[in-house]
Amino acid sequence: MAERIVEYSVGDLARLAGVSVRTLHHYDEIGLLRPRHVGANGYRSYGQDEAERLQEILFYREVGMALTDIARLIDSGGGRLARLKAHRLRLREEQDRLGQSLVTLDATIASLKENREMEAQDLYKPFSAEKQAAYEDWLIDRYGADMASAIRASKAHLKGAPEGMDARIAAKMAELKEIDDDLVAAFQDGRAEVAPLFERHRAWIASMWGKPCPPEAYAGLAELYASHPDFAARFEAMAPRFSGWLVAGMKAHAEGLEV
């Protein structure tokens, strides 16, 4: 039996995939998704291979991957099945992280409705030992070997404390809660003078790292806070819209220090 030949016009494929014709034209122009044929009249047609490649492109675009990174990933080889299985694993890990954050967020909302305070261990529950390990993996995957080295150095610094790593972390988390409470209060009060609060926060970061936290690193940390859903969920649990205020404040403080 002859193999069925499937062909789509650019309009047909755009409608099936839920993208614009202009998007497909752009993907063609940058070499990300070439049509199977281009007729003498300039009309593009796509086959099954192109349709499957577009599906994979859209999987990666959905999580914010840059087009250049998508092209590099798909064209690097390894097979479509292997790539999609790896992508599924990343999505499942992200789903687990978001699931824990949603549980904690729901508990926080419930406590606010009932006008009661959450216990500290529940407030910071998304950052359990298991969560921390998963988060470290995310950081290393995103930022590479330098981040792995920084994490090891920070752990070595905390482990070297006379009272031991667990006790030191507990003390540092208690200090962080005080800093967070002050920052939330400043946010809710609309306070203008917040530089001392952000400076204390920056000093806390440096104490956790075991080395100085220069302005550019503090601004970079703000970007990290904005890019990871666990941090956004944690800060929004403290106060609605606090996450955006904190990130903007950290960046502004870093810029002021660089002047």
Give every CB contact of residue 66 below 8 A, 6+ residues apart in sequence: none
* Domain co-membership, 192 together with 151: yes
For the entire predicted model, the pTM comes to 0.45
**139-148: pLDDT as tens digits:** 556 555 655 6
Signed CA dihedral, 205, 95, 123, 121: sign only: negative
Q: What is the mean pLDDT of the chain?
A: 78
Interhelix angle 21-29/48-62, nearest 10 degrees:
100
Closest CA to 60 of 43, 44, 84: 84
2 domain-assigned: no
Distance between CA atoms of residues 65 and 63, nearest Å: 6
- Whether the per-residue pLDDT at 168 is higher than 70: the answer is no
CATH label of the domain that carries residue 65: 1.10.1660.10
Query: How many domains does one find in the chain?
Result: 2
Higher pLDDT, 93 or 138: 93
Closest CA to 32 of 45, 23, 41: 23
- Whether the per-residue pLDDT at 223 is higher than 90: the answer is no
Share of the chain above pLDDT 70, in %: 69
28 domain-assigned: yes
Give every CB contact of residue 141 below 8 A, 6+ residues apart in sequence: none
* Domain co-membership, 162 together with 84: yes
* Domain co-membership, 70 together with 84: no
**3-51: pLDDT as tens digits:** 556 799 999 999 999 999 999 999 999 999 999 998 888 889 999 999 9
Lowest mean pLDDT among 72-86, 114-128, 220-234: 114-128
Share of the chain above pLDDT 90, in %: 31
Alpha helix positions (H), the chain: 10-17, 21-29, 48-62, 67-75, 80-113, 120-123, 129-143, 145-159, 165-189, 195-209, 215-227, 229-238, 242-258
What is the per-residue pLDDT for 143? 52
What is the per-residue pLDDT for 157? 54
Among 39, 56, 75, the domain boundary falls at 75
* Domain co-membership, 93 together with 198: yes
- Whether the per-residue pLDDT at 2 is higher than 50: the answer is no
- Whether the per-residue pLDDT at 183 is higher than 80: the answer is yes
CB of 77 within 8 A of CB of 62?
no
Task: Give 120's pLDDT tier (boundaries 50, 70, 90).
Answer: very low
3 domain-assigned: no
* Domain co-membership, 86 together with 102: yes
* Domain co-membership, 116 together with 58: no
Lowest mean pLDDT among 51-55, 86-90, 142-146, 247-251: 142-146
What is the per-residue pLDDT for 41? 86
What is the per-residue pLDDT for 14? 93
- Whether the per-residue pLDDT at 94 is higher than 90: the answer is no
Task: Give 129's pLDDT tier (boundaries 50, 70, 90).
Answer: low
What is the per-residue pLDDT for 1? 42
**Residue 123: which domain range?**
80-258
Among 75, 103, 118, the domain boundary falls at 75
